[in-house]
Structure 1
Amino acid sequence: MTVIPFPVPDSPDDCEATSRSGDRPTSHAAGKNTRGRESITMQLLRIYADAMLNDPNHQGFTDEEAMKAAGFSLEDDGHRRRCSTLRERRYIEQWYVNGIGVERLNERTGKFRIVCIVTTSGIDRLWGRT
């Protein structure tokens, strides 16, 4: 596991619009209206970073675990899509131990899910360096 040697900033204004090119016009409009609140995607990224920085034994999160840790509803807040966005941007990545991708059993679904950790690019994003 990579240990990041600096704290994660607390920036309520770190809320770049995160609508995707294929989203409906209403999503684009809402994405532009984020002043004073942090996007779900950025809150999730902060959860990944905080966990790694505050617990040297942290074992990463599945998408669902990250959503729960952030206090979001699994049904309403699109955890797979939000975490997928973080992976696409390379802000989180699957955790590997001895060259093997870590997966964890999801008790709710009975299926194995990949476990991810924050990347240095994710930390840079939180710091506003990207």
Structure 2
Amino acid sequence: MSAPTEGAATWLAYNAAENARDYVAMAALIAEDLTVQVNGVRAVGSAEDDLRAMEHLIGVYPDYRREVDEIIGAGDRVVARWRMRGTSADSAVEPLDVPGCSVVTVRGGRMTEAFLYYQGAALDRVLQTAGERS
């Protein structure tokens, strides 16, 4: 097996930090001017926005984790297929089980741009609430 590209290695390190709730390591892997589109709509405009959304997601789903199904790197770009899973302490909140895909650009060991594609009403509600609180 060949060594992962810089982009793939950076995204995998970010995912591991996210699953470990290591916000310092996550922040080190994100460019300050990170831009993120979710299903074609701008959702995040900075590293701070990304971390705020992540904290809220974990607040709703304390056992949240993102499992990697496949990752393909080419130069400074990486494509990752993943599945987000989690359960809420609030039985009125549906469990999180959302498959998706990310296309990410990495420069200098930091993610600068990401396009996320997924179908999942539960995640939409959590992210919408996070946006309302910012």
Give the TM-score, by structure 2 length: 0.26
Q: Whose radius of gyration is greater, 1 or 2?
A: 1
| TM-score of the superposed pair, with normalisation by structure 1 | 0.26
